[in-house]
Every structure is written in structure tokens, then in C-alpha cells.
Structure 1
Amino acid sequence: MGYAQRKVANTASKLAHVSSSHLRALPPKHSLLPAGKAAPPAVFDAQAWAASQPPPRSTLAAFAHRIGLGKVVPSVDVIEQACTHPSFVHLHNQQHPDQPLPATNASLATLGNSLLGLFATEFVNSSYPHLPTRVMKAAVSAHVGPTTCANLAREMGVTPILRWHRTPANLTQGAVLHIDALASVPRALTALVYQYRSLRSARRFVEKFFFSREVDLRSMMKFRDPKQTLLATVQKFGRERPISRLLKETGRLSNSPVFVVGIFSGADKLGEGFGSSLKMAEYRAAEDSLLRLYLTRQPPHLLQLPTSTFPDAPGNVFEATGAESAYSPVSLGDSEVLYGSAGRAGVRTPGARSRAAEAEDDLEDYVL
């Protein structure tokens, strides 16, 4: 598909989709030219009028059953509220000033956003107990962030039934874009499951739609100096200082040599790496050692979440009654390293030079 075709398809997906079969009067009376007058009293905006029309109830019912909420919500009016962004109120007042205001998903999206943050934080923290704090925040955003919610809404088929209005930025709030309106729908749907079922049902809903996606955590971890970071990490866990050993090599005297270096702490190999020079291989070996530590994942059958203690009964956590599941907390891991505390500037603190010098001496000790 060329650029022009993709542009047309992308633009068409953002326009309002309104079926004329469920409309009582088409075209509307104010769009017709009054009898005996040469011009209409106002310019008729067909796109704004179409965007203000409610979606067909059959479409809402099909959407609810497609995502598995057909038997959860009492009526399709709740689904219509979940798909109505607060920015739609302004457009509704312009097109239908004599009608009552529609219900929006403002409160549902706020509650759903809090639930998504809770579920994602406990899932990432329990799955990767040694993950650094900054990486954990990035992983939570990758699982349930605005971009992920908007992409999930497109996959669900929210675009034809979404009711929103593009709003420019002002002094009090930012601009409302199509991605912002889409992201509010999965959050509102999560709140609906919690409202009409239970907290654990909402967590299962989030696990199926959000946590089933693969997130590359390796690309989120960047080390300015892996050798010094590894030295500080090994000292923090009370292990022996790391030593680099040359494991394999080929073509040392050629123009394309390859060296394989392993880093050991005592008799345990922490990691290994390859490169066209010894320093490059050692750098990758130190980075591999850190990734092996921080990306150590808890087995799925041993994973226990704090929200499992709540009873799996209808109602919110304050009203639900029933048997509570057993929960045994896992051992907490150290989430930070004792290096890089100077801040975002990356300037080393006074006294850190001695530690860096020791790291240089220790990690450049090759055993051939």
C-alpha cells in the first residue's frame, strides 16, 4: 500500500461512521433550504452532524459481545457511555442544544486508569523482582500506557462507535487528539468490569487484553558504564569481585578477529560477550551479566499478586464478601544499584573515582 492509500485509509478511520438505517430523519430539517428563501439561514456541517449522531444499538451490542462483555454490562447504554469522550459534550451542545447532555466516560476512565496502573505495577514488580525503578516505570507504561490503550482500542474496533470532538489546546488544558479519545475507552471498559463484577474479574480482563502482549525489556535498559555498574552490583549482593576471562578467540592477527570474554564471580559465570576487540567483548559481557540479573523472571506458576487476597465476589472491594485466597509474599529484590546517584547529568560524585579505578583494574584482568 502506497503513501497516498495509507493516508486515505488513516483519515477515513478517524471519521464518524453513521448508518442511515437507524436515523429517523435523513437529511435533517435544518439542512434543507426553507421554502421561499434563496439561501439557508446557516451553513450545514455534514461531518459535525454525523459525528453527533449516536451509534446503532446493534453495533454497540456486537462490540460488547466481541470483547466478552455482553453478559457483564446490563445494557448497551453503558457501552455507549464508555465510548463517549468528555470532549463530545461541546459538539453535542452545538448540534442538539435542546437535548440533555450525554453520559461520558470521564469518571470511568479515571477509575480504569488507576486499576490499570495497580495491576500493571504489581504484575511487573512480582514478575521481575530485581528490575530497576526507572525500567519498571517504563515497563508499566509499555503495558498500559496511552499508546498501548489506543492501539488496543483500534484492535477492538472502537473507531466506528467512538464519540469525541477534536479540541485545541488552551490555557487550562491540552489539546484533545484522536489517540487521547481512543485511550479512554479501554480504561472505561476496565472500570465497567470492576463495577459490575469484581476486582479479580477486572484483573483477568486486563491480563487477557494487556499482559498477553510481549514487551521487550532489554531495549529499556541502558548502562553508561556496565563494568562499574556490575562491580557495584556484585558488592551490593556480597559476592566476590568480578574477573574477566578470555574464553575463545579466532583471527587475532587478521583484520576481523573475534573474542569471547566471560565474567566470573568466584566459580560462577555471570555472563559472556563477544566483539572484535577485548574491550568490546568485555563491555558486552558486563552488560549481559547485568541483564541476566535484572531480567530474572519469576516462574508463572509461582507468581502471586497482592490483589489475589480479595474475594472473587460481585461488588467493589469494600462491599464484596467471600472467601479470600491465600497469599504468601515473595522475597523483595533490590531495585536500585549503588552507582549513578549523581542524577541525570551523569557527573560522578566525589570519591567515586577510586571505585571506578578499582573496577578498571579488576575487570581488565584477563586469564588466557
Structure 2
Amino acid sequence: MGYAQRKVANTAAKLAHVSSQHLKALPPKHLSAGSSSGAPPAVFDAHSWAASQPPLRSTLAAFAHRIGLGNVVSSPDVIEQAVTHPSFVQLHTQQHPDQPLPATNASLATLGNSLLGLFATEFVNSSYPHLPTRVLKAAVSAHVGPTTCANLAREMGVTPILRWNRTSSTPTQNAVLHADALASVPRALTALVYQHRSLRSARRFAEKFFFSREVDLRSMVKFRDPKQTLLATVEKFGRERPVSRLLKETGRYSQSPVFVVGIFSGADQLGEGFGSSLKMAEFRAAEDSLLKLYLTRQPPHLLQLPTSTFPDAPGNVFDASGAEEAYAPTSLGDSEVQYGSTGRAGVRVPGARSRAAGEDSDLDIYV
């Protein structure tokens, strides 16, 4: 075995999808021999050649069964297309100029991205009807965004069989990184389930791998002035003006006092907060009141999604025929609260109270 073959053997041993059956044909003729014009032979890159080899069909079949698609996709060639990023075409052309171009997951990833966006939007919007729009967008990205898709691909075991090529950024195209190539695979798999089964099956695939994860929505909801926001929210829902009451306290005249404040609307307690000062406790109580409203979740057994109106039969949404489940749309909550300004302009709304002008808080402490 020559030097080039030993180098390829060592490189291929580090890649799980490269079989040793390719080693006897190395180095490739178009890279080891000079051209007819007498030019010297090209430099043989063992790592690039090993990365351009197709995964073993047994590896692709094992991957399909591991993620539960063994009975959905019958041919390993379809899985090979799902794990082939469009950037791989350039590498394949360099290493195998005499072979046809491989099928990539460009169209599958685009379709899968749209499906995941649809499933995530209806899931979050139906589960949290009062969620603000900006928080809803952040929650959708947390469920099916690029980072989540890349992490899910690693958990599935896509890394050893991923076919891609790192490219630098150009004026017309962004750079292709490893995370970008990984993120395309779960999207392509979602599209494969839709094409080979139905829209409902694709949604169940997304629920199993994406929506079963816990997402901390509480950390996504931030209020610049929760007391002012709470005033506008209570007024919008036609409730009584909120008031703050001191519930408990300890160590008022010590170096570390603790105050517990509750905010009430009529006889109903909206929220509760603690702090080393009355203002801090009131701030946290107002924030707790808003979080209890915005993070109110629909019970999972009562959750109904618009895509349930499509029949659970093989075929796309235009050709599938069958029985449809009953669907009763729920009323969406008022998710937006405008207070203090007219948006990014920073202009105060006429009639809005301003603490910057030296006014006291709109919520009074009752001891």
C-alpha cells in the first residue's frame, strides 16, 4: 500500500460512513496522473475524498429505523438525499467530475421549514392564547429554529452521515457552517414524512421530536414597566383598578428586610412578589400578575389545532380524502398592550402618566 493509500485509510478510519472497499481504487486516476498537456498531477486531498464518499446503505437504513421512519421511507436513497446539503455538490464535482450530481435536500428543507413553522405557530398560539406577538415569535424559534434543528440532528446521530462542504461567505451568499447543514436534515425529514404519509403524520413527527421539549417561556417575557403595563391590561379587560397591599414583612428596621406585596383587582389577587423594599416587591408582584395572564396555558387534553381538520390519510392536503376530526376554534386572547408610547418613536401617548415627570407610581401601597 502506497503513501496515498495509507493516508486515505487513516482518514477514512475516522469517518464512520466510509467503507474500506474504496481503498483499493486509490488514488483516483484523475488526481494521480497528469493531464494530456503535460501538467503535473493535482494534489490529492485524502480528507476531501473521504468526505465525498456516499454513506453505507446499511448505515442509512439503521438511521431511518432509529428515528422511527423505517416503515415510512422504503429506500435508503431517500434518506441519503435528506442528509445531503446543497453545498456538497461543489465537493462532489471536484472529486468525481465524471459522475452525475447527487440529489440534495434543498427543496425538502424548504418544504419542511414551512411545515415546522406552521405546526409550531398553531401549537404555541393555541396553547398560550394570550401570548404577545414578539414572545410568540421567539417561542416558535425556540421550538423549530435553526439552533434547535441543529441540536436535534446531533441527537438523532446525523453527524457521521451528513454530506456537506464548508463554504465561505460571498456578496450574494452566506457562509455554510456545520450547524447550517445539520439544521437542514430535520426539516428535510419532516418533508419526507409529509410526502410519504400525510400532513397529520408530519405533525405527529414534529410533536414527537420538537414539541416534546420544554421551552422556558417565562424568560422570554420582559417588561420595561410592569406596573404601567398591568394598569393598561386591567383596563383593557374591564376589571377594577389594581391596588397593592402589603401581605407580610419581616426585619423592617434591620439591614435585610423582606416585604411581600400582593396586587388585587377587587377581591381577586392577581399576583404576589417579594423584595428588600416595597418598590421592589411591588415591581415583582406586577410582573407576576402579567406572567400569570400571558403564560396561561390551555390544558393539553383540550388543545385543538387547525391542522386537525385535514384527513389522516396518505397523500398531500389536496389529494388526501377521508374522515375529518371535529374542530371548534377557540377565541384568541388580546395579546398586545400599548402603553406609554406609540412604538419605536418614543412619543408619549396623550393622557398616559409619566414617572419621568416626577409623578408617583400608579399603584399605591396599602399597609
**Same fold per superposition (TM over 0.5):** yes
2:203 paired with 1:197 = no
Counterpart of 2:353 in structure 1 is 354
Give the distance between the partners of 2:76 and 2:32, measured in 1 at CA.
Answer: 36
Secondary structure of 2:69's aligned partner:
coil
Provide the aligned C-alpha RMSD in A.
Answer: 2.1
Matches within 5 A, 1:143-222: 143-222=143-222
Counterpart of 1:29 in structure 2 is 28
Q: What count of residue pairs does the alignment treat as equivalent?
A: 350
Give the distance between the partners of 1:128 and 1:197, measured in 2 at CA.
Answer: 29
Unaligned runs of 5+ in 1: 1-11
Give the distance between the partners of 1:341 and 1:132, measured in 2 at CA.
Answer: 17
Secondary structure of 2:213's aligned partner:
coil
1:96-118 alpha-carbon deviations (Å, 9 max, x no partner): 11100000000000000000000
Residue identity (%): 80
- Label 1:200 to 1:340 Cα distance change in 2 as closer, same or farther (>3 A): farther
- Label 1:341 to 1:354 Cα distance change in 2 as closer, same or farther (>3 A): closer
Superposition deviation, residue 348 in structure 1: 4.3
Contact 1:20 1:26 (8 Å CA) reproduced: no
- Label 1:152 to 1:359 Cα distance change in 2 as closer, same or farther (>3 A): farther
Superposition deviation, residue 199 in structure 1: 0.3
Matches within 5 A, 1:310-321: 310-321=310-321
Give the distance between the partners of 2:32 and 2:308, measured in 1 at CA.
Answer: 63
- Label 1:88 to 1:361 Cα distance change in 2 as closer, same or farther (>3 A): closer
Unaligned runs of 5+ in 2: 1-10
Matches within 5 A, 1:49-60: 49-60=49-60
Q: Aligned AA for 1:20?
A: S
Contact 2:264 2:271 (8 Å CA) reproduced: yes
1:234-282 alpha-carbon deviations (Å, 9 max, x no partner): 0010001100000000000000000000000000000000000000000
Superposition deviation, residue 352 in structure 1: 4.8
Secondary structure of 1:25's aligned partner:
helix
Contact 2:227 2:362 (8 Å CA) reproduced: no
Give the distance between the partners of 1:330 and 1:353, measured in 2 at CA.
Answer: 33
Matches within 5 A, 1:1-368: 16-23=15-22, 25-30=24-29, 41-339=41-339, 341-344=341-344, 347-354=346-353, 360-363=360-363, 365-368=364-367
1:61-98 alpha-carbon deviations (Å, 9 max, x no partner): 00000000011012000000000000000111111111
- Label 1:55 to 1:250 Cα distance change in 2 as closer, same or farther (>3 A): same
**TM-score normalised by the chain length of structure 1:** 0.91
Tell me: higher relative CO, structure 1 or 2? Use CA pairs within 8 A at least 6 residues apart.
Answer: 1
Give the distance between the partners of 1:199 and 1:358, measured in 2 at CA.
Answer: 57
Give the distance between the partners of 2:23 and 2:43, measured in 1 at CA.
Answer: 22
Superposition deviation, residue 27 in structure 1: 2.6
